[in-house]
Structure 1
Amino acid sequence: MPLLSLRALTRRFGQTLALDRLDLDVAAGEFLTLLGGSGSGKSTLLRVVAGFETADSGAVLLEGRDLSGVPPHARPLNMMFQSYALFPHMNVAANVAYGLRRDGVPRAERDARVGQALAMVGLEGFGGRLPHRLSGGQRQRVALARALVKRPRLLLLDEPLGALDANLRERTGFELRALQRETGAAFIMVTHDQQEALALADRVAVLEHGRVVQLGPPRAVYDRPATRFVAQFLGAANVLEGRPDGAGGFDCPGLGATLRPEGALPPGTAACALRPERIALRPLAEGPNSAEGVVEEVAFRGDDSLLLVRAGGGALLRVGHAEEDGAPPPRGATVRLGWEAASVVPLAG
């Protein structure tokens, strides 16, 4: 049995459909990230599970128990907000102990658990400090300790790293993953950061218009996007329109060439995805999985450069060029592009 089962969850705000008959299962001890654009339903989904929003229909089942009508404080889970929501007049130890005190946990046990939670997040000795004397990263750790001190089976995190700078965000993300493994709790994390979602999760759920449009391990979702939306939202793949040629290939007028994927094209394929980093600049003979174009823009990105290449049929391709491959071609250069058959991904919609 899954730890958490969401069945046909629907939530409306006036005329806006935030969740549309959404189904999702989360296993015990799993780290799941929810990824999607603004308004896709990510945060609403967390709030419905936590009990801060009430679904118009559908069910939230935790270990088979229907949580309908159960108030947030009585649900056997915890939620960490992006704002951290620390009490400014309470010191760190009191903030972390707040939920335990409300639950009537005896003082000795409470103090022991607070000490363990602070040690877990690397804040030993900080118990007497007030929140305004902490850095942003330290406040984030206090909020995490407060969420973990009650030892929930399920922890919900709404953009928990959003307020941190890039370097601290990456380090804290890996620490968060390590804590999840150590505690054995299931984590569901909302993030708008694609790299963060791919780096931390066991599985990624991509949401669009209140529904899960693709769910799977990060590499599988990235390498084999199921729809145009997933292909373009996650990693900004090139989406090329066309039609099957009847011989296993996919004619793409905008590319002025034929794509030839591994295996047979699914019936009705009307587009294929091709990721920028899978396209190479190399001299190739005319034929499938190669095209010619003119470089329109070159953008240096640190470890690589992004080229915008106008193909013969008018399509504008995003092409990654690694630094180890030498200097990128200049604007106006005519280049030959090539890619492997395995990099061509037929799209369902």
Structure 2
Amino acid sequence: MPWRRRPSGRAAAAGAGSRPVAEVLLSLQGLSKRFGATLALDHLDLAVAAGEFLTLLGGSGSGKSTLLRVIAGFEAADSGKILLEGRDLAPLPPHARPLNMMFQSYALFPHLSVADNVSYGLKRDGVAKPERARRVEQALAMVGLEGFGGRSPQKLSGGQRQRVALARALVKRPRLLLLDEPLGALDANLRERTGFELRALQRETGAAFIMVTHDQQEALALADRVAVLEGGRLVQLGPPRAVYDQPATRFVAGFLGGANVLEGMPDGQGGFDCPGLGVTLRPAVAIPADCRACALRPERIAHLAHADRPNSFDGIVEDVAFRGDDSLLLVRASGGALLRVGHAEEDGPPPERGSRIALGWEAAALVPLHS
């Protein structure tokens, strides 16, 4: 099965790109869910297009797994609508909903063979045995497990069990597949490879995928769109590059890619006073009067000979961390702000701890944050 290496660092932020607007397959309207005093979903609205790969990204407790379970029917929403092709799913139990869900644990039956695991749903639906066998064979071939039908799941590797679970989810040919951390149990190399195989499968089947992940690079690299959740609310939704390059809030800026959040306020003359850096910043866009912070990605900061131009300052390197394809510098500005700064390997050895350096960036690198 074809796969490709996931790009790292800045290249990963390009993601899978966006696709033309298609018909709405799933519409979530005003979805709310409480667990006691905890509001897990807060009047959430979301539309998913047919054939779209959407990733749900957020911190622990953001509501992403709860949202998946509510769509699947394993949790009942307190209010709101779940419409699949215009049909309200709320009255339907999980097994009657025309979608499938793949769990992080894979949930394979250890006493059944691989083929019987994959065919379980078809058998429950009353599909005739010859048709079941044909579709199981097709599903196993799709995930690269031809000839594995007679084996026990206990004798498979973690990656192979993941493929069996995926084949079982796809064999019923759902238009919507829900995936809860499907790659979480795999090691890094296998996770990368399987992630792109998963993307290729999604394109091949034409099904819409909604995937929960805590891996930011994974979310950016695989998705058509990324939905960022915080406190049960959808705080930003868009193509991976747009969400990465133009974060809407402090949370998105800090959570996704670790952008620097520079506190300050507009100076009334097109600039942004930033006491933490000890300078007035000059963004490329107009700063709203109520803006109190701007985002600046570490990789957008350049090393300068002198801090003598707009959007530049001198700082002291407090720490250096090697990350493989680059190094991360922690630089303290005169105003007290601590900035994360990327240093590419092709630029030579990184500066040493305690050294003074001049840094700057293009005006377009500064992104005003709404909240």
Instruction: Normalising by structure 1, report the TM-score.
Output: 0.99
1:227 equivalenced with 2:249 (yes/no):
yes
Partner of 1:88: 110
Q: Which amino acid aligns with 2:308?
A: E
Render the CA deviation track for 1:19-76: whole Å, top value 9, x for unaligned: 0000000000000000000000000000000000000000000000011110111110
Give the superposition deviation at 1:156: 0.1
RMSD: 0.7
**CA distance in 2 between partners of 1:154 and 1:90 (Å):** 26
**CA distance in 2 between partners of 1:289 and 1:100 (Å):** 62
Give the superposition deviation at 1:13: 0.3
**CA distance in 1 between partners of 2:57 and 2:306 (Å):** 38
The unaligned stretches of length 5 or more in structure 1 are none
**CA distance in 2 between partners of 1:68 and 1:252 (Å):** 50
Partner of 2:279: 257
SS of residue paired to 2:34: strand
* Higher RCO (Cα < 8 Å, 6 or more apart): 2
Q: How many residues align?
A: 349
Say whether the 8 Å CA contact 2:29–2:82 is kept in structure 1.
yes
**CA distance in 2 between partners of 1:284 and 1:25 (Å):** 49
Among 94, 103, 107, the alignment partner of 2:129 is 107
Render the CA deviation track for 1:280-314: whole Å, top value 9, x for unaligned: 11124424210110000011111110000000100
Say whether the 8 Å CA contact 1:258–1:287 is kept in structure 2.
no
**CA distance in 1 between partners of 2:126 and 2:135 (Å):** 13
Render the CA deviation track for 1:160-219: whole Å, top value 9, x for unaligned: 000000000000000000000000000000000000000000000000000100000000
**CA distance in 2 between partners of 1:260 and 1:42 (Å):** 37
1:277 equivalenced with 2:266 (yes/no):
no
Among 85, 93, 101, the alignment partner of 1:63 is 85
1:324 equivalenced with 2:346 (yes/no):
yes
Render the CA deviation track for 1:71-115: whole Å, top value 9, x for unaligned: 111110000000000000000000000000000001111100000
Give the superposition deviation at 1:255: 0.6
The unaligned stretches of length 5 or more in structure 2 are 1-22
Say whether the 8 Å CA contact 2:319–2:329 is kept in structure 1.
yes
Q: Which amino acid aligns with 1:7?
A: Q
SS of residue paired to 1:155: strand
Say whether the 8 Å CA contact 2:277–2:334 is kept in structure 1.
yes
Partner of 2:169: 147
Give the superposition deviation at 1:157: 0.1
Say whether the 8 Å CA contact 2:106–2:165 is kept in structure 1.
yes
Say whether the 8 Å CA contact 1:284–1:338 is kept in structure 2.
no
**CA distance in 1 between partners of 2:181 and 2:319 (Å):** 34
Among 181, 187, 195, the alignment partner of 2:209 is 187
Q: Any runs of at least 4 consecutive aligned residues in structure 1 with deviations exceeding 3 A, and if so which?
A: none
SS of residue paired to 1:221: helix
Q: How does 1:129-168 map to 2 (within 5 A)?
A: 129-168=151-190
Partner of 2:142: 120
SS of residue paired to 2:154: helix
Give the superposition deviation at 1:262: 1.1
Say whether the 8 Å CA contact 1:244–1:269 is kept in structure 2.
yes
Q: Which amino acid aligns with 2:164?
A: V
SS of residue paired to 2:24: coil
Say whether the 8 Å CA contact 2:307–2:358 is kept in structure 1.
no
**CA distance in 1 between partners of 2:39 and 2:312 (Å):** 43
Partner of 1:343: 365
Partner of 2:227: 205
